[in-house]
Each structure stands twice: as C-alpha cells, then as structure tokens.
Chain A
C-alpha cells in the first residue's frame, strides 16, 4: 500500500532527523566540556564554614567596556608552595566562600577588562595571603571604579562585631609564620 510506505518513510526520516539532532547536541556538549576542561579554570569547592564574605562593586565606567572579577584560590603547602584549587566568580554583590582555617591560602583577585569597540582586553591581579583563624569571619571589600581597584580584608572574632583590617601579605608571611 503506497500510503503505508509513505508513513514508514516519513517516520524513518523523522527518526533519522532526531538521531542527527541528538548527535549534534551531544557533539556540542562534548566540545563545550572539552574546552571547559582545557581552559584551566575550575569552580572552587567551598569548605563548609563559609568564613570569607566577599563584597564586590565593579564598574568599568563605560558602556563600551566591561570588567569581570574573579578570585583564584590556591592552597599553600607547608613548604610555602602554592597549588591552584579553584576559581570563584564574583559576579554577584555578595559571595560567601569557605576557606580552610588554620592554614595559609593564596587569594588572587583578577580584574579582567575588555573593550567592545577597540576589541582589546587585559587583566590585572591583586594577590594576598590569608591564614583564617577557626571561628573567625573575614569580610573582603573588592572595588573597581574609575580604573582603580582595591581589595580590603577585615577580620571579625567569634561573637564580636568589632573587626580589624588585615594587612596585605605576600608569600614571605608564610615562611615567616608557618
């Protein structure tokens, strides 16, 4: 019967189209996963205590440019070497992060700017080292305005509302105090 042949042909064609679409989607997903793994950036796995509260205010000051802010977190080993642990996107005004207490971590704040018209990009980093104390809370103010940036870290003891600013520390702090 010609009619049933046509139905069969149409349903075969539909099945092939579905398979093609599925394979295209799978290929796209694999490609995305491949490039994601090759980019070198991985999401940071928070520790449960969420002791670092990052408040970000970043404004490029222009319609034709943008600034993206992230913080790369590195573990500092006992011999004061660093190992990349992951990246936290600072794309919200407030982001809570868990940093392991009682050991040094290296925090690298990255300000990546790009211009749409000039098609140019660049990034600048600010890094500091932090050894959080157990039970203490840490507030980080990250600002970028008028092409100036600032990172300020404050420490608050448990059960207190009085905080103190923590000075910028480089890797020498690790070898001096570890």
Chain B
C-alpha cells in the first residue's frame, strides 16, 4: 500500500464516517457509500450463472484476501513501514452472495474513531441472480486507490482472468 492508497484509505474512512462514526456493519457501509466523497456504487451484470459467481467468491475470497501485508517506503528523509491485515467474509444464500472486505492497520497508520470488529469496511460486493445465466453485481467500493482489489473482484464475477490481487499495490 503506497502513500496514495494510504491517504485514500484514510479519506475513505473519514468521509464515510462524516468524521463522526464509521460504518460498523456491511449494511451501514452500503448506506454510507452513495453519499460518500471517496466511494461509489458500481452495478453491472455478468453472463454467468449466480451459482458460479458465488462459488468463485467462496473460493477466491479467503484464498486471496486473508492476508497480512507489509510495505516499506523509503526516501532520503523518511522511512515508513505499514502493516495491514485484510479480512474477507463470504456469505451465500440461494438469493444472494456477499463478499465483505475489511482492513486493519497493525502498524504505521493511526486509526481514527471506532473500528468495527475485523477492521474498517473497504469493499462490499453483492451478487444476485437475474436469470439462469445472468447475475447482477452491486459493488460498493472506494473511488480512489485499491484498483487492483476492485479489478480482481470484477474478474471473480465475470470469471475472466481470475487471480489474486497484489495487495501491496
């Protein structure tokens, strides 16, 4: 995570909360994103059955996102180490598959306000069936930074170029 991502994360957290409180649940996060400065909702449909999208979320979410990442930035005058732990949660019912991504800074960034258990919410992806072969995706995501993570979740939904995001980027 570089400085831009770090700044974006802090801005995301601050603006989502309106400097008062952070979303403490996925539902609160969904409600906060549409009016947040540094987050947005992205909705699209994929030509893939809902069950396949749900299976990919279940497989890739824990494999790729249960990580603790350490990044080091160094200039002539500064040396910064940031340690971040990501926590994915996948919930699947016959009508909906949810992927929640939370993060917690273990080192290098000071938290502001009350942090939900498991870390601040960074992204929520909801998948729901449209037809036998189509699935609707609602992506509640940051609008600045974390492009690799967002692209990976899009790929998990479409089934194309399925891989894990390098969370150090």
Spell out A's residues near B (CB within 8 Å). 111, 113, 118-126, 143-144, 146-150, 168
Q: Are B168 and A113 in contact (CB under 8 A)?
A: yes
With CB as the reference atom, state the residue of chain B lying closest to A127.
B63
Q: Are B168 and A123 in contact (CB under 8 A)?
A: yes
* Interface bin, chain B: 20 to 34
Q: Are A148 and B74 in contact (CB under 8 A)?
A: no
In the bound complex, what is the Cα–Cα distance between A123 and B81 (angstroms)? 12
Q: Are B152 and A120 in contact (CB under 8 A)?
A: no
Candidates B63, B73, B164; contact of A148 at CB < 8 Å: B164
B144 at the interface (CB under 8 A from A): no
CB neighbors of A among B135-169 (8 A): 148, 151-152, 155, 161-169
In the bound complex, what is the Cα–Cα distance between A123 and B69 (angstroms)? 7
In the bound complex, what is the Cα–Cα distance between A99 and B92 (angstroms)? 37
Q: Are A113 and B166 in contact (CB under 8 A)?
A: yes
Shortest CB-to-CB span from B68 to chain A, Å, is 9
B152 proximity list for chain A (CB < 8 A): 148
A147 proximity list for chain B (CB < 8 A): 148, 165-166, 169
Candidates B2, B67, B155; contact of A124 at CB < 8 Å: B67
Given contacts A113-B169, A147-B169, contact A120 B163 (CB under 8 A): no
In the bound complex, what is the Cα–Cα distance between A144 and B163 (angstroms)? 9
B70 proximity list for chain A (CB < 8 A): 122-123
With CB as the reference atom, state the residue of chain A lying closest to B164.
A149
Q: Residue-by-residue, is B61-100 near A (CB-CB < 8 Å gives 1, otherwise 0)?
A: 0010001011111110000000000000000000000000
A-B contacts besides A146-B161, A148-B151, 9 pairs, CB < 8 Å? A113-B168, A119-B74, A121-B71, A124-B67, A124-B69, A147-B166, A148-B148, A148-B161, A150-B164
Shortest CB-to-CB span from B117 to chain A, Å, is 23
Q: Are B163 and A121 in contact (CB under 8 A)?
A: no
Shortest CB-to-CB span from B133 to chain A, Å, is 24
Candidates A120, A125, A146; contact of B74 at CB < 8 Å: A120
Q: Are A120 and B166 in contact (CB under 8 A)?
A: no
Shortest CB-to-CB span from B101 to chain A, Å, is 15
A120 proximity list for chain B (CB < 8 A): 2, 71-74
Closest 8 CB pairs of A and B: A122-B168, A122-B71, A148-B163, A150-B163, A120-B73, A147-B148, A147-B166, A147-B169
In the bound complex, what is the Cα–Cα distance between A123 and B71 (angstroms)? 7
Shortest CB-to-CB span from B103 to chain A, Å, is 14
With CB as the reference atom, state the residue of chain B lying closest to A112.
B168
A-B contact pairs, 20 of them (CB 8 A): A111-B166, A119-B75, A120-B72, A120-B73, A121-B71, A121-B72, A122-B1, A124-B67, A124-B166, A124-B167, A126-B63, A146-B161, A147-B165, A147-B166, A147-B169, A148-B148, A149-B163, A150-B164, A168-B59, A168-B63
CB neighbors of A among B1-48 (8 A): 1-2
Shortest CB-to-CB span from B154 to chain A, Å, is 11
Shortest CB-to-CB span from A108 to chain B, Å, is 12
In the bound complex, what is the Cα–Cα distance between A85 and B73 (angstroms)? 30
* Residue from B2, B155, B161, B166 with most neighbouring chain A CB atoms (10 Å): B166
In the bound complex, what is the Cα–Cα distance between A125 and B67 (angstroms)? 8
